Structure 1
Amino acid sequence: MTTVLRVNAFLTMVFAMLLLACVVVMVRQARLDIEREVSASMGLVAALTEGCHMVPRQYCPSADEITKKLQHYRHFKIISEPSNLNMSEDIIPRSSGSVPLWFYDAVWGRPAGRLIEHIPVKGERLLLVADPTDELLEVWESVVQIFLLIVACALVANVAVLVGGRISLRPIRRFLCALDQIERGNYQERLPSYSISEAHRLACHFNEMAAALEKQQYENRLLNRQLLCLQEQERRELARELHDDLGQHLSAIKAVAGTISLSVESSEAVRVNARKIISISSNVLLSFRNIVHRLRPTELDRTDFYHASRQLCKTWSDSVNIPCHYSCADSPPTLNSNQSIHLYRIVQEALNNVLKHANASHVEVCIDTSRDGDNLYLSILDNGVGMDDDACAIGMGIRFMNERAAAIGAEIKFTANDGAGTKICVELATSVNAGVPDYERGGV
């Protein structure tokens, strides 16, 4: 339950208790007031009626005349007492059409024999019965008015709390949305300025925190980018040194062994050993070339990323015997060497993960571009066993690809369902200032 609904429920309970207290107090007070007024009226009528005995009989009014003259007065009822009179049902009024029976019983009840007077008049007997109908009607009308007033006040208060609460909690909802963005890693999220001083201070502190996190994230990415660049540079230099130095020596050993094996002066044992040296040297050279290729793909030095990735997919498919379909859009954007090597490494790592973990029988590598040509889309899809969310979060290969994508300002997403394959999507914005924080563009 939200805070506003809790406040509304609390207010409703308070007004309900207030209404109940008012009704209880009014009922108690009305019972006392009605009994006093009715008792006084009945006492007065009884005294006047009994005074008729003090005058001569011929001047004393009859019972019918007394009944007709007093029948329109309030608080009592005068009737002739019949022989078959039922004191609890026929005489004592319980309710009028405007007063509910439960309210009549709560205020007045059924006081049989308590407010009834028997008055003899000229040989007849009149029955003087308390009739609080008018007073009960007045009290009931007051209760209804108070009920409507309290209900109206409760409605107004709840509406005011609802509207005011939504307006007051609007900054909090905005804070929660901003915190959700921060949790997702979107440190560029900022809060607007608010007229409420407390909300304004919170917004300022939040913006400072987000700016600090964004700066720290940018510095981490910059450091990671520099480390990756140094790593690729070291790999390139190491591959060159190995190719120019160790590779030449291995080739020389193989050539000398070949010369020895062809020499007529060599014995048969020497020629056999020479052929063994040639075989070993060939295997070492093959392994050496594979190591050099892993350190620095030579295709990237001769061609661009698109041809190199196509050749990578073909070589991988031939070596592991898994079909790999490669497709590339026409006229893709030109990439610099840094973007090319990182995208190449992402494809390389994705194919290695397919071989190690996916148990797939088919792989698709697709390169596409946006209509304006500013965005490059790279996707690697397999039909393997997939992976769960924990593997997406803690896998070293996943972290490796995330770091590569962050180093070139690309966004990478992993869509993996257990048993339904895995899809890796990389989006690279080639436009100027894409992925650059606000403070790098001159603003905070």
Structure 2
Amino acid sequence: MSLRFRLIALVWVVLPVSLAFGSLAAWVNASRSVHVEMHAALQVARQTVQTGVERLQTARDPARYRDDLIASFNGNRHLRVWLVGANGAATLPVTERSPLGAVPAWFVRLIAVEPTTDRVPVVVGDANYGTIAIETDPRNEILEIWNEFAESLIAPVVLCALLILLIYLYIERALRPLGCLAAAMEEVGEGRYRTRIDGRLTPELARLRDSFNRMAARLAEADATNRRLNEQLLTLQDQERSELARDLHDEVSPFLFAINIDAAAASRRLDEGRAAEAGGHIQSIAEAVRHMQRQVRQMLGRLRPIGLAEFGLREAIENMVAFWRRRRPDLRYQVEICADCEDLGELLGTTVCRVVQEALSNAVRHAEPTTVTISVDCRDDLLEDRDAIRVVVADDGRGVCEPTRLGYGLIGVNERVNAVGGRLTFSSQPGKGFAVTAILPYVPVSNPLSPSLASTEP
């Protein structure tokens, strides 16, 4: 059932209950009022008759005075007065009419006031002039109470009808924005994040509208970010495949070809009985295999940090530094790794290595530094109120003018850091170097790296 019809049903329930309590109170008061009114009318009439009988003692014509006394009650609303006897004088109360019609029988039974009769004998000296009977008639009083009761019902019934009409119209108007919101939510659920709600609304619905628009804007931004990251991921994958294909083509394929030639030449020398000459070709094959092993190891290092699974984080970072130290021996490398950070989980350890690998590569290739500093330590993250691993790779090179413009490598590292719940920041001043800082959530693990993940070198 809709909210509108629930409110209308609630009004329909409250109205009969209110009318029932009001009717109960009115019934108690009405019954008491009729009883009191009839009793008072009867007492006044008896007093009047008794006074008239006393005056009758000095009347010249007692019978006529008696009849005049009875006739004086003509037009009384509550009494019927008559002289007891077959042809006695009598007066009847005036029967009033109501614009609302006759009183229902059930209402008369509900008031439950029966007529009451009193008799006053008329005696003058020793002569008996009969008995005057006085009887209450509550019909007019009950009619008056019925009129008041019916009129009192008109106002709440009309008010209730107007209230229901207002509820129907106002709730329909008030809920119309909620219908628009539901439709907008369905559109957002279908992926149309540019949906917005506008128009003038009540303050409560305006806050709901603004919250929805902010949510939709953030979802649109997140969707655009996901699309951009997917494109970057595809670009990085293509770039990585291209680099692997180039290394295989330039570094491995020629040596495989050389091995094939040396093997064929050694085979011919052996068939000709010239074993000494075949040994030279075999030696060339061994050197080619060692070269290919080094190249494959370097390619594996780009795919997964060498030494991380076998020896821990420190060894993996030292291998990266050693790789660049062989190529740039003129630079100074400083590595500081606290003891608590040497055994991290595979995911966290790999993330730390990727941050160091990319930042170190960028520093050596682009920054023109004299010193590159790598530090990994454990400290409190005051911003998130938790333990964290801080990774800093800084150089004293020329820095960058726009540190917000990142290459694909740092963008990928930033997304990797965000994926584990961390954050990556950059700081730079022209001529004073560039620093990459990663704050990663630290969760101690009992079994940091699984031995099954360790790579095996031939």
TM-score normalised by length of structure 2: 0.44
TM-score normalised by length of structure 1: 0.45
Structure 1 or 2, whichever has the larger Rg, is 2
Structure number with greater CO (CA < 8 Å, separation at least 6) is: 1
